A and B are shown apart, each in its own frame.
Chain A
Amino acid sequence: MRNGLFFLLAVAVAIAVFFGARMLNNDYVFFAGYTVLQFILLATAWNILGGYTGYVNFGSAAFFALGAYATVFFYKLYPLPIPALIVIAGIVSGIVGLGTGYLTLRLRGAFFAIATLALAVVLQTFVVNWDYVGGSRGAYIIRPTENVLTGPYIQYLFLLMLALVVLGLVCARGIERSQLGYGFATIRDDELAAEACGVPTLRLKLVATTLSGALMGMAGAPFPYYIGYLQPSSAFGLEYAVNSIAMPMIGGTTSWVGPLIGAVLLGSLQQLATVTISSAVNLLIVGLLLVGFVIVAPNGIIGLVQEHLRGKRR
């Protein structure tokens, strides 16, 4: 399927999801749906670097928080519409992603992962000590109750996140089926052999860190409007780092579908657990599922399906 056609199909599905949710006539659906969509975008963004190139990023929360705090900063400086804030957050996070990539170009495996973890710690320390964006006290964002386009404001945020998910999925799928995608796959499989085949691995890694960082930042940009009160511990929350890794791992990291499946499955399960049991059970669910999948399906659900299909063809 061509990228243009896929884009149209994704938009059609997004419209169907939005109006389907509206038909339920329950604001909770939008609150819960927003979180699931946010995780789809985060997981898709993480997978561009972690899945396609094999560079595991433990600093997803830092990029997410960067997007959220970019919104707070510009909200205080000069109030802009959220779509503009999303673009700005994407640029800021993309630049930080590029910088991270540049500083960690020679690092691989666990060393790269530790460096990204360090980035999250450094950024959180910076934000905690930056009074303008609220520091450790946090910052309030007054969310309007209505929006001319959708009515209730949460529906507007849901729609924005839906649009971002379409953008993220189209971007990830486009990469996967392009020359860039081949390049990323060779970095994941064998960087030395990739260089010997003429792949400019260092340049491609910078592209991956920038794209991934930008999309994660965009996922965080509407968050202050969603939560209303942003503090470092919520923006840099462990669940963002853990979920953005666990969701693609459970779904499968070699395809754009993997993070989507993983995020829908895990995100919905977490929302269900939050209402029925307790929000504290979330990370336990993630942990148990991750252990289960590592044992039963190390290549995720997509890997399991691919293996099954390959077995049938033989």
Chain B
Amino acid sequence: MPLLEVTGLSKRFGGFVALDGIDLAINQGERVGLIGPNGSGKSTLVNCICGTLVNEAGTVRFDGEHMDGLLTHERTHRGMARSFQLPRPFVTLTVADNLRVPLLYTVNARRRHSLKPADLDARCGELLALVGLTGKAAKLPRDLTQVEMRKLELARAMAAEPKLLLADEAMAGLSQSEVDDIVSLLIRLNEGGVTIVLIEHIMRAVMRFSQRLVVLVSGKKIADGGPDSVIRDPEVERAYIGQ
């Protein structure tokens, strides 16, 4: 049984069809790249899966449970996490406190409030070390660089101890070496057991990261398979690569 199963998902904004009957299955432990031109519906799909947007048709099943009608935080409690296209840190909280929020509200709630303050501090330290932000714990997000902000975004999503991470353009605006840094981090997280869907425009990163590639164009899924075969698909070339 897939970890995430999306069936016939549709979403409209007025007369504009953002998603048109999307079917998608993501298996446990997979690394999936989700690509498509601007306006193809990638972020809308992520928002519908996470519960930020309500889909008009179709269903989302996660870990065997129907997600329809559940609020975003309820889906997070069940093991779904996301990072945002533009980093959205809690600006008045320190870097460590940013991580403390999902630990308190998701992990601690899941464990029936058994985490002690010392456990929370230790877990914050581990997460900061994982993304290479040790030493920045007491800083405010505004003191971080762009790549550090992206890392904080990923660390905060990981703090919720998710089964599935939806990383929405985690590398936008980064330099080549920074992109490599983030891809390595995502692969490390996946090796730790987290299923990851990466929504990205940077093809070099997508090709290095993905075991499977899904392509959306105008709200429709036009390809789904191994990265090498998908990238040579004439329809993908025509619609996405622009040949």
Contacts and interface: CB of A to CB of B under 8 A. Distances in A.
Same complex origin of A and B = yes
Interface of A: 179, 182-183, 185-186, 188-190, 192-202, 254, 310
A266 B60 CA distance: 54
Contacts of A254: 92
B102 A198 contact: yes
Contact of B73 (A179, A185, A190, A201): A201
Given A182-B100, A198-B102, A193 B71 contact: no
Contacts of B92: 185, 188-189, 254
> Helix, strand, loop or mixed for chain B's interface?
helix
A138 B160 CA distance: 56
Given A195-B76, A198-B109, 8 more contacts: A179-B104, A179-B105, A182-B100, A189-B90, A190-B88, A193-B84, A197-B102, A198-B76
Interface residues of B, number: 31
Given A182-B100, A182-B101, A197 B88 contact: no
Given A185-B92, A189-B92, A197 B101 contact: yes
A200 B101 CA distance: 11
A251 to B, nearest CB: 16
Interface string B63-85: 00000000111001100011010
Contacts of B156: 197
A258 B225 CA distance: 57
B19 to A, nearest CB: 19
A178 B160 CA distance: 19
A186 B92 CA distance: 9
Contact of B71 (A183, A189, A195, A197): A195
A198 B105 contact: yes
A186 B90 contact: yes
Nearest to B106: A198
Contacts of B159: 197
